[in-house]
Amino acid sequence: MSISLSSLSLLPLWISMAQIQQGGPDEKEKTTALKDLLSRIDLDELMKKDEPPLDFPDTLEGFEYAFNEKGQLRHIKTGEPFVFNYREDLHRWNQKRYEALGEIITKYVYDLLEKDCNLKKIAIPVDATENEPKSFIFMSEDALTNPHKLMVLIHGSGVVRAGQWARRLIINEDLDSGTQIPFIKRAMDEGYGVIVMNPNENYIEVEKPKIHIQSSSDSSDEPAEKRERKDKISKETKKRHDFYEKYRNPQREKEMMQLYIRENGSPEEHAIYVWDHFIAQSAAENVFFVAHSYGGLAFVELMIQREADVKSKVTAVALTDSVHNVWHQEAGKTIREWMRENCCNWVSSSEPLDTSVESMLPDCPRVSAEYYSALAPGDAGGLPEPQA
């Protein structure tokens, strides 16, 4: 087993504690203090000291990657696919690099939705003030005015955002496999209006403000000796805190706080909001949903909250590896009956496409998508090719 230089820096503490434990009862207080210090030092966090800085490019070109004519992500110089283990034995750093690339790809897909698919980016809440947190969805020009057909796309949970099915498929396979773009183009070619939901964009992150503690010396009513003693304790506390922080957070990553978006603080809230403010207001006689993974759960929750309205406008729902559960979500009998008639769930299976797959829940038919999902939960799985 190898020991890093960071781990060696703790040896004096361990040796000191061993020596103290050999002493008498009067050394117990020091032993307790050292044990407390060691218990608060996270060795995983300590390993950060060996990492290069978490400073990554903010463009694909900076990463030296680009999408080729087949929509595959390739290294500009070598033509090789993306390599996760860019630095050996630095998994956390490699993961942070992967996440930084993922954020760039999210913006790249947003750009494709506007420029390649001719969708409009619509800010929500629709009545948001200038300073409050906002999200957005994408819509085709005729989404609200098309009198015949409207297609609504909902992705799964995790890091994916509007226009994506799976970030990992975009990076490791191609844009057609991991984005909703083939579905959007097919729908528009066949005369559908299109709305692309963005159910994971629930909050914005801002840097947590630093808390400035007023010095006790400002309390002029206290005796000078008491103020000096308090100041000394405060300085010693700060010194211990800084010592611990040096090990806990050597990269000095910013501490962030989340500001949730009004009426869009969860995928379920988002689905209801988009329904109320856009889909319900659309002219389309027939609304169709394609919902993947957690998107299926969000749709079922929408149906529970807006049952009569959904039944009056929605013609059919295509689910893919949906994680909804009609029992846990307490969907009523009339909803379950409607789902059996109007929904179908294509699931990971080695069976031929559209072969019936047994289900333990009495909600909607499950059929084979003729593929296995190779992705972990949170990044969503792949999808079958769009069907007519």
**Residues acting as catalytic residues:** 293
- With tokens 């083939």, the residue in question is 182
> How far apart (Å, rounded) are the C-alpha atoms in residues 278 and 291?
17
Asked whether 199 and 298 are in contact (CB, 8 A), the reply is yes
Distant-in-sequence contacts of 277-280, Cβ < 8 A, 24+ apart: 277/124, 277/126, 278/122, 278/137, 278/139, 278/143, 278/144, 278/195, 279/150, 279/152, 279/195, 279/313, 280/306, 280/309, 280/313
Closest CA to 335 of 362, 353, 358, 355: 362
Q: Kindly state the tokens that stand for 213.
A: 């503690």
Asked whether 162 and 170 are in contact (CB, 8 A), the reply is no
